Amino acid sequence: MRNLVETIGLRRLASDRGPSGPMHTGGCYPLCDTTSAREGAVPRVLLLRRMADVGLAVALWCCCLASAPAAAGEVGRAFRGLAAPLQQVRHPRPPHPPGEPCVEDLASRIAWLDRRLKSDGSIVAKQPDVWGQNRLTRQRLEYEEEMRRQLGQFAIRSSAALRRSDQAFLGMALAVQSASGRRRPAAEVVDVPAPSVVNTIQGMIPSTNEGQGRADSVVIARTAPLAFPVAPDGFGFGTEPPALEPTRHLDQLSRYLNHLQQLRRVNEGDDSADAPGYSLNLVRIPVSIQPGTRTRRGHGAEITISAQPCLGDDLLPATFRNLVVNDVVDLVAPGLTWCVNDPQCVAWATTIVTAGAADAAPADRGAARQGVLAAARALRDKLPAVVPATAPAVNARRARLPLPFTQLADVAGIEQIAVLVRDTRAALGGHPANQPCIGYLDVRSHLAGELQAAWDFLAVEGRRHVWQELPGWNLAALVRGRQVAAVAAVRRRFFAALGSGAGGDVEPLLHLPVPAAASDSSAPCGEADHALPALCRTTTAVLAWAILVESALLNDRLVEDVGVACGARCQGRPAAGYAGPFFGPDPAPEARAAFNDYVRCRWPIRVFALDPVTDEQNVEDSFARRRELQIALAAAAATGRLNAQALARHTRRLETDMAVVALNRTAVGFAHGADTFGWRFYPRVQTPPTRGTLATLGETIRGGPTGAADLAQRELEPGMRECTAIIVMPSFVPWLTLDVSTTWFALGHPRGAAPDIRDTLALSRTVKGMHAAAAACAVCGEQYRDGEIPRLLRRVEQLDRELPLQTMQAQIPHENTAGGFELFTAGVTDLAPELLGWYGGPGIDPTSATTLFLVGKGFSVHDTAVVAGGRPARFTPLSPEVLRVEVPAGVATIVPCPTPDGLGMQGPGGPLQLAAAAEPLPAPAPPSAPSLPQSLQATPAIGPLPVPACVACDQSASAPCGTGSSDCNRREWVTIHLATPYGVSSHLLVPVVRRPVARAGGLAFDPACTLALTFTVTKTTAARSESARVDEFFAGDCDALTIPAPESFVPPAKAMLRMLLRDQRTGAVAATLSFDDPSFDTRHARYTIAGADLRNFVGDTSRPATDKTLRGAIKPYLDALLQQGGLDADGDSVALSLTAELVAGQQVVPVGGGVTVTATRRGKTAVEPQPTPAPAGR
């Protein structure tokens, strides 16, 4: 009723001052004009119109009063609504001041829009928040661990109860009475009232009503509603209550497991989310719901979102640049790491680069020519043999590399490789973390930075013509055809075009002749007989050539993948027919558009999962029904002295009681296709409001209230709703666009929506008109406070955010770690994991556990296994690219064997191998040699190799790291493999770095001792997990634990032995414990734990098993192994290593050696009864 009154009585008033005013028609009041027509009282015509509206509203209200029930207070609200137009007449709007009416009109339009939005309510989505898959790793792992623990937690539960009773009774009685023929005298007649025959018959037919106080049982039993018995008496099978059939139990267990695995699969993500080019992102979209006066009751809210990747014009150049850089790093880094760690390779590279110095005498350069040729041949021959077999970390690419390793020297040039080796060794060799060996990941990082600089070098304005000439070089065909001479000619022409770098630009290569030094392949820039230019002998120039070659090869691969992957799905679009080129810092607009279409077709965005899918409110729903029917028939007949009476009664009673757990869904997610999704929000179950007298009377007459009426009274609670979506989208796209549409719907008629799209466009036109009006009104802004009109505009923007149609953009944590040949795989997807390198230490100590960070690609959150040196290793995923691994002690190692030709290795303490027996290799020039040109003296040059002290090598500290057993490529290794459901990685070689032996005279366990413990396994009837109980007795191969001390050792006061137990198989920490005040034998200068001290240390009857004893310390670890399924058979054992250190105050003295502790299971699992809790109050 109130809405009716507002519609008729007030909408006209709003229209008079609202959008239908002069501003709505496009006009505007004259600036700084006063209009007397807009001042004073309301015109008489307007008054008459409003009075007519009031009369019509009163008539309609009276007609609807009897038919439409009204709640308490609705009548008063209706009268107040009818009086609103009169109040407007009585209290008209204040007149506009004699100034600028345009500003006031703008304010009135803002107020009108505000009232309209408050009447309709608002459903507004907040700016999305995005989490990448790296940040989600911990949450996904914890979710998986909890779900895995639920596998064995299935239990039969009833979610509904039903009790039915059907009772019937039929009874008949017949009474016959007769009188004898003798007349009795008056003395024999006793004045006793004759009993009623009907009462007699009723007494013969017991029923519920007549059975009160009777000794016999009640025939028809009436029970209270919802009086569910726990188990009816006598209902059972033997001694067991009724239960499900075994097959039904298995069916329900199967459904439980399938649903559990479904949740785990959603948490894991599908295979396409792990494919190259895709990433999985969690997008959080909080939805703010504020119901209005029209939508406060009987309405729900709906939000629909469409997600699209934001593909801008800069996507192609940025993506192509990253792909080229990553490809070159993957191709060059393994061989470069080997070379910078090999003294021969560094010496050869230094000789090749410095032997042809510009300011050296021609005679000297001619004498060194033969040595340079020998060094170049030796380096060229060795590169294919060492990559990738002996690289410190093999890069097992999931897709083929741009070039095979055997062609690297032919395409890049051995002289350019020598420049790269020299500069990389000079840049990284002096860092303490890279001594004695330079790490593979450090080389990758260095290469990535240098490649970015080389790309910028080619992107300057004076060198962009190189990209325009690149298609004419036909590099891809020359490389694929193994035309080594033609590739070398183009390479020499490119480096010759660089010049000395003084001019800053590169001359067009097509106008340059091939340098005349073709017969001298050792000339790095093709000009051996002239002054060597400085620019072409830098790492930037060498990597610039590598970028050009990779760009040409990757362009061919991209064109091929566009044809294969998008041929069927992108017909008629730019991506289907464009053949490149795609490379360069400024590709053509056609290339940008074609690449964007290719991305849409190749990596379409997909909404993988929604949360909540359903948000449910558990409701205890009970129902009781009673039906009873009674039929009675009485008959009587009398004739003469004989009479008969008969009574028949039939009673039937039906009882039904039901109790269920109903689900009221307050949020329901939906998805339409691949990129459209949303939620519908419903009110929670609420008690109906108190109805008025008239409404209650109407409902009683109509037989209500009905379920639809109760549903229409529910109110949607205002507030924020947490909504998230898992979106799979291209990993190299940095922005996501979300188009949001919101609406209200009636709970009784879900198909109806308000406001509809026409109302939304009308509101949008109103907002746009406000912006235009504000610009016109800004001329007279000085008549108001400073900043008043900008504040009005900000209010307009605030109201604009509440409109139903919105567009938002969210920044995605995009990744650029994939290479181009990994990304453009022509439809082939390989998800096998890769291991690239490690951090956290110089290597692995086989004698103790080592913790490292493994870096790679394709790690699975759920199903990943790591094996190091033939032993399983525990790990913790930190992201899909980083693992923290605990390498256990006792891993197997591998030692490289000498090759027959001696290449790549050196004898113990022997000199470097010569490149050729007849051609002596000249010694590298020192950094300060006068033969170096001035341009090279500013660059760190490699003279004699740095000789830091060998910290990790098995030799004296004074020996240089480049001699003897310190060869970084001939060390002892531990190989690590990682496996996922998609495959097994190639080997990752981590060097062995043994801990130095403790100095002579230190503390150490001597002799080594073994303590053997046994334990049994128990569990209670109510518990599902097993528990270990360590026996009080133990065995040992020694009578005491002794720690000898040197003669000069002074035992500290109040010392403590702090001990650590590690699993010998996994290297995991099993327990920590301490032993206070160990006894020191001054006569024999040793600590001794024997006799009662040893029994107390282990924990016997005199000292219970606590965390201060060995028995109590290892019990939690045994319990953990039992929960993981280990130690499940009689005789299974676990071996632990005990190490210690002596602690006294702030002083810590390590104790060498250790003690072996074994724990062996004894017997099967014993089931113990559940202990009875003590009564309260005792």
Q: What is the DSSP string of 111-156?
A: HHHHHHHHHHEEEEEPPPEEE-TTTTHHHHHHHHHHHHHTTT----
Please report which confidence band the pLDDT of residue 524 belongs to, taking 50, 70 and 90 as the band edges. Answer: very low
Token pair listed for 612: 């909540």
Rounded distance between C-alpha atoms, residue 800 and residue 787, angstroms: 20
Q: Which of 962, 991, 1020 is the last residue of a domain?
A: 991
Token pair listed for 555: 């362009």
Q: 1072 pairs with which residues across the strands?
A: 1060
pLDDT digit string (tens) for 998-1036? 444 578 887 778 899 999 998 876 666 788 999 888 888
- Using CB atoms within 10 Å of the CB of residue 906, give its burial: 0 to 12 exposed, 13 to 18 middle, 19+ buried: buried
In this structure, what CATH number is given to the domain that contains residue 838? 2.60.40.10
Q: Which of 991, 1019, 1039 is the last residue of a domain?
A: 991
Q: What is the mean pLDDT of the chain?
A: 75
The pair phi, psi for residue 493, each rounded to 5°, is -65, -40
**Domain tally for the chain?**
4
Domain membership flag for residue 932: no
pLDDT at position 678 is 94
Rounded distance between C-alpha atoms, residue 817 and residue 799, angstroms: 43
Could you tell me the CA-to-CA distances from 847 to 996, 1137, 1154 in Å, in that order? 11, 11, 12
Comparing 48-57, 835-844, 1081-1090, the range with the smallest average pLDDT is 48-57
Range 137-158 average pLDDT: 82
Residues 117 and 142 in one domain: no
- Reference 302, options 718, 713, 606, 670; nearest CA is 670
Domain membership flag for residue 221: no
Please report which confidence band the pLDDT of residue 145 belongs to, taking 50, 70 and 90 as the band edges. Answer: confident
Could you tell me the CA-to-CA distances from 797 to 110, 767, 768, 771, 791 in Å, in that order? 10, 8, 10, 9, 10
Residues 6+ apart with CB under 8 A from 1053: 1144
**Is pLDDT of 669 > 50?**
yes
Residues 792 and 850 in one domain: no
CB atoms within 10 A of CB 881: 19
Please report which confidence band the pLDDT of residue 303 belongs to, taking 50, 70 and 90 as the band edges. Answer: very high
Residues 1009 and 887 in one domain: no
Domain membership flag for residue 1147: yes
pLDDT at position 607 is 92
Residues 109 and 7 in one domain: yes
Domain membership flag for residue 282: no
Q: What is the DSSP letter of 1001?
A: T
**Is pLDDT of 305 > 90?**
yes
- Look at the chain and count its residues: 1178
Residues 977 and 843 in one domain: yes
Range 512-531 average pLDDT: 45
Rounded distance between C-alpha atoms, residue 900 and residue 426, angstroms: 31
Which position has the higher pLDDT, 135 or 578? 135
Domain membership flag for residue 702: no
Residues 22 and 59 in one domain: yes
Residues 981 and 861 in one domain: yes
Residues 1009 and 1131 in one domain: yes
**Is pLDDT of 956 > 80?**
no
Angle, vertex CA 744, rays to CA 742 and CA 748, nearest 5: 145
Residues 92 and 11 in one domain: yes
Residues 6+ apart with CB under 8 A from 263: 147
Domain membership flag for residue 706: no
**Is pLDDT of 990 > 70?**
yes
Which position has the higher pLDDT, 38 or 323? 323
Q: What is the three-class DSSP state of 510?
A: helix
Could you tell me the CA-to-CA distances from 1070 to 811, 847, 891, 1126 in Å, in that order? 44, 17, 19, 14
pLDDT at position 567 is 65
pLDDT at position 230 is 60
Residue pair 1071/1113 in contact by the 8 Å Cβ criterion = yes
Structural domain range at position 1159:
1003-1168
pLDDT at position 28 is 38
Question: For the residues of 619-679, what is the DSSP string, one character each?
Answer: EEEEEEEEEEEEEEEEEEEEETTEEEEEEEEEEEEEEEEEEEEEEEEEEEEEEETTTEEEE
Rounded distance between C-alpha atoms, residue 355 and residue 366, angstroms: 9
Range 777-804 average pLDDT: 86
Rounded distance between C-alpha atoms, residue 617 and residue 615, angstroms: 7
pTM over 0.75: no
pLDDT digit string (tens) for 372-390? 566 667 666 666 555 544 3
pLDDT at position 618 is 87
Q: 1063 pairs with which residues across the strands?
A: 1136
Token pair listed for 211: 């059975």
Q: Which of 960, 991, 1022 is the last residue of a domain?
A: 991
Domain membership flag for residue 346: no
Q: Where are the beta strands (DSSP E) in 901-1038?
A: 973-980, 983-984, 988-991, 1003-1004, 1009-1020, 1027-1036
Which position has the higher pLDDT, 39 or 273? 273
- Using CB atoms within 10 Å of the CB of residue 575, give its burial: 0 to 12 exposed, 13 to 18 middle, 19+ buried: buried
CB atoms within 10 A of CB 37: 6
Residues 1164 and 1044 in one domain: yes
Which position has the higher pLDDT, 172 or 466? 466
Domain membership flag for residue 111: yes
SS3 content of the chain, % helix, strand, coil (to 5): 35, 25, 40
Residues 795 and 844 in one domain: no
Please report which confidence band the pLDDT of residue 228 belongs to, taking 50, 70 and 90 as the band edges. Answer: low
Residues 1028 and 1160 in one domain: yes
List b or e across 826-843, with b for residues whose CB sees 16 or more CB atoms inside 10 angstroms: eeeeebbbbbbbbeebbb
